[in-house]
Structure 1
Amino acid sequence: MTTWHDVERAAPEFARRVRALFDAHKHKTIATLRADGSPRISGIEADFEDGELAFGSMPVARKGADLRRDPRFALHSATVDPVEGAEAHWPGEAKISGRAIAGPATEDGDRFRADIAEVVHTHLDEKATKLVVEWWTPAHGLRRAERE
């Protein structure tokens, strides 16, 4: 299992930027898979707790049922538009994907920990002329691509 602490240890500056994007706003978006295999997008709150990424689902919520049936997920930070004229200061957006590990259900609902497969930070270069995609995986570490 790959935890958030593993990401921080392997790529600390990258992990700091990604976490700042997730911590900047309370609400995130999660993609899960429905029983028929089609995607479902839901709003969610997520927290970094004791070196792990954790998130929950209210009782009888569909996203919790999705994750108990098929644990694959993709979590997306809140997205904000770059400010016109100051695009180089846009912090970008972040994504984390992996498998949700269910904890014991409570009266408040389900609680999950993330087994992280990939972490992505998409942003602009210093001159705001190129899109920069940085991604980390347990198998390949941190990589970077730039696109015009």
Structure 2
Amino acid sequence: MTSWGDFRRAEPAFAELAERILRRGIALVVATLRADGSPRVSGIEVVLDDAGPDVQLAFGSMPGARKGADLRRDPRFALHAAPADQSGGDLGDGDLKISGRAVLQGALSGPVAGDAFRVELTEVVWTGLNEDRNRLVVRWWTPGGGMQRTERE
């Protein structure tokens, strides 16, 4: 079980970039699996919760939402944070993809009802441009494989 805090300790600079992308809150989409195995995508908001001894990436699902039902049945998910401005072909800070398992924590705390989930990471992937902005760069981290990188035209 790999938390966001584990990722942050392993790759602090990469985690800082990922957190900046997540915090901008633009076009966050989560993919879950329906009962028949087909994919479902839903808009989502995430929280980086550092109130406890370890930083957790967390999100919620409203009562009766299909997203929550999907995750209670099969906790695998993929989250995508799109580039800030795609209209001019500028990737800005790039885009971010996170995969893992959503672990049900119980009811959401606060004024909104629903289910709270914390993330167990299996992969964090960033796609953007190199410094010269002439090649696509893909960087990814997994708990067992560490950081990897590739570039392509």
Q: TM-score, normalised by structure 2?
A: 0.89
- The yes-or-no answer on 1:117 pairing with 2:126 is no
Relative to structure 1, is the Cα distance of residues 119 and 54 closer, same or farther in structure 2, using a 3 angstrom cutoff?
A: same
Unpaired runs of at least 5, structure 2: none
Q: Does structure 2 retain, via aligned residues, the 8 Å contact 1:91–1:123?
A: yes
Of residues 81, 87, 92, the one that matches 1:90 is 92
**Which residue matches 1:73?**
77
RMSD over aligned CA atoms reads 1.8
Shift of 1:93: 0.6
Shift of 1:79: 2.8
SS in 2 for 1:134: strand
Shift of 1:105: 2.9
**Which residue matches 1:43?**
43
**Which residue matches 1:108?**
113
One-letter identity of the residue aligned with 1:48: L
**Separation in 1, partners of 2:127, 2:144:** 20
Q: How many residues align?
A: 146
Q: TM-score, normalised by structure 1?
A: 0.92
**Separation in 1, partners of 2:151, 2:118:** 31
% identity of equivalent residues: 55
Unpaired runs of at least 5, structure 1: none
**Which residue matches 1:61?**
65
Q: Does structure 1 retain, via aligned residues, the 8 Å contact 2:124–2:141?
A: yes
**Separation in 1, partners of 2:18, 2:29:** 15
SS in 1 for 2:21: helix
**Separation in 1, partners of 2:3, 2:13:** 16
Of residues 132, 135, 143, the one that matches 1:138 is 143
Q: Deviations over 1:64-105 (max 9, x none)?
A: 0000000000011143335759x4x72101111100000113
Shift of 1:25: 1.6
**Separation in 2, partners of 1:139, 1:115:** 13
